[in-house]
Amino acid sequence: MTDVFFAIMTMPTPTQPIKVIIWDLDDTFWKGTLSEGAVEALEDNLQLVRDTAARGIVHTIVSKNDFAPAEAKLLELGIRDLFVFPQISWQPKGPIIKQLLEQMQLRAPNALFLDDNSMNRAEAQYYNPELQVADPADLPALAPQLRASGKPDPTFSRLEQYRLLERQQQARAAYDDNLAFLRDAQVRIEFREGAEVVSDLDRIEELINRSNQLNFTKRRVTKDELQASFADATRRWGTVRVRDRFGDYGLVGIYCLNTTTQQLEQLVFSCRILHLGVEQFTYAHLGFPALEVQGEVATTLNTTDKPDWVTIEIEAPVATASAPAGERLRVLLKGGCDLGQLTPFLQAFDLAVVEEFNYNNEHQIPVHLEHTALLRAGREWPAAEQQRLAATLPFLGREAFETQLWSGNYDVLVYSPLMDYTQELYREKSSGLEIPFGGYQNLTAVDPATQAAKYVQRRFQGMDEAFLRRFQQEFEFVGQISPEQFTKNLRWLRAQVPVQVPIFLLNGAEIEVPGSGETGAKERHYLMNQALMDFAASAENCQVVDVRDFVQTPADVTNNLRHYHRQHYRTLAQRLAAAIGQWHGHHLDHSTWTDLKARAASLVPSKLRGLFK
């Protein structure tokens, strides 16, 4: 470190590397104050973010500003995608930084906070005593050292891991019950041992020597020592790979068991899987061998529990037009998050299920990705228009146009188009672009103050009275998609998905639900169901799985006609599995035990499930 660096840090010389840079915006990242008018981009800062992100340093924001215009400016500068977990509000910065570091699972000594206001820097360090802080005026002296930090990461793999964590944290915030979140997260582990670990030598060495928070043994090693240990027949080496419905975490854990003494010599995990139960599950999987925990660790292990929300899976198959013989069919389940109740029952069959459901975006607003108008927008609109609307409409958010539909990494598509049945379309007057939102309500005809108060109660961010007034000026109400346009969009979707991939469509119930507040919903479902059935009858490799066969009375649904009681999701899963098996040409293998566990779990209220582990 240089003398300049010593001078600007209000703490002793840091001994920890910088893993995250936290930026203020006004008069720090850019010149000027956004709320007072135009600001001027600082090219040196833009380039510093690009250069250091390419070396594995993560960037985030803690700024006193309104979120929407700040994000719009970052998009205009072409830099938005290099920031994760942005905290843009008018709240005090010290507590926000503390919470932010907890969400990112990083330690304060590994963070650098840049802010032109000395009071903000002092407050940040008061709440985060080991936080490194600096005045942006000293960036020219800091920049060369920051650019030399980390290691080359040209594919931004580290940034992608934090985007995954950000999606996970946003989803977790929507749950009052953490156990319910963990069950819905579909945490899956792949263990590899023996010769399969040799090719991962570099990653194993990195985990052992660089991990601290979840390094239970803290035995640092050289690569030569590792290679020798791999060849030792008394050492059982293994790696841990983790996936969940938010993405693939990659190789995040290693263990080495001395089979002579039955003692763990290495047990190390990346902090990116903290709070998922992976460490405890791995320890239980190994049979709770002897373990001498060294130093401070973020998780306490015990010798009794094996998290039942974690499952073991084989290595995910390589993407092909269809799964090779002997491997499970890959099913992409796309629709509302209530369909997550299908997954445990579908997994009782010989199927690998991947979910893509609605989620809470960065404004804590549920975003449905499945409306056909939104799917077409994500495929057909220019990227600049997608980014503009994602930045200016809080109910969209930056990931609203992303989907796994075009990945090709599935053999069967199960698709629920019920948001086409439900959501309203709004047309932007200046561009003619149409966006879906809400349902059974005209947002351009409501009183902005009253509606904003309702959004505050739901903890939506950015949907304040000022936004609603602007929205009513700039957008016009179109109403729910017509059955004719719905059919056109389904034909478009069929053309986008490879024809050899079957599409199993889930229709809607036709029930009058007292007190639901969705006037005309039954009649609407009738019209859309007819359009869906007509489409499937004429489209290639499409089939409707009809929920009307078993969801027939108000007692079969919960708060609206799209959410069914738990037992009906089992029936729906069985109907789906039968239809998929018929398409595939043979009956799918079925695990009675897995089905029994899924049934038992579905019958227990989520808040009580932890008592029955």
The DSSP secondary structure of 126-138, one letter per residue, reads HHSTT-EEE-GGG
**Upper half-sphere CA count for residue 470 (Cβ side, 13 Å):** 10
> What does R_g of the chain's alpha carbons equal in angstroms?
26
Q: Strand 424-428 relative to strand 475-480: parallel, antiparallel, unpaired?
A: antiparallel
Question: Within 10 Å of residue 295's Cβ, how many Cβ atoms?
Answer: 9
More confident residue, 608 or 121: 121
The alpha carbon dihedral of 12, 16, 22, 28 has a sign of: positive
Which residue is listed with tokens 């590899």?
192
Q: What is the 3-class SS of 377-427, one letter each residue?
A: HHHHCCHHHHHHHHHHCCCCCCCCCCCCCCCCCCCEEEECCHHHHHCEEEE
Under 8 Å between Cβ of 587 and 574? no
Question: Within 10 Å of residue 176's Cβ, how many Cβ atoms?
Answer: 8
Provide the pLDDT for residue 521.
94
Under 8 Å between Cβ of 425 and 480? yes
Q: What amino acid occupies position 490? A: L
Q: What is the DSSP letter of 541?
A: T
- Kindly tell me the burial class for residue 10, based on how many C-beta atoms sit within 10 Å of its own C-beta (0-12, 13-18, 19 or more): middle
pLDDT confidence bin for 605, thresholds 50/70/90 = very low
For residue range 206-230, list pLDDT tens digits in order. Answer: 999 988 889 999 999 999 999 999 9
How large is the average pLDDT for residues 326-345? 87
For residue range 235-288, list pLDDT tens digits in order. Answer: 999 999 999 888 888 899 999 999 999 999 999 999 888 899 999 999 999 999
Provide the pLDDT for residue 175.
81
pLDDT confidence bin for 360, thresholds 50/70/90 = confident
Which percentage of the chain shows pLDDT scores above 90?
A: 65
Residue 83 main-chain phi, psi, to 5 deg: -115, 140
Q: Distance between CA atoms of 480 and 441, rounded to whole angstroms? A: 10
408, pLDDT greater than 90:
no
Q: Distance between CA atoms of 401 and 420, rounded to whole angstroms? A: 16
For residue range 89-126, list pLDDT tens digits in order. Answer: 999 999 999 999 998 989 899 999 999 999 999 999 99
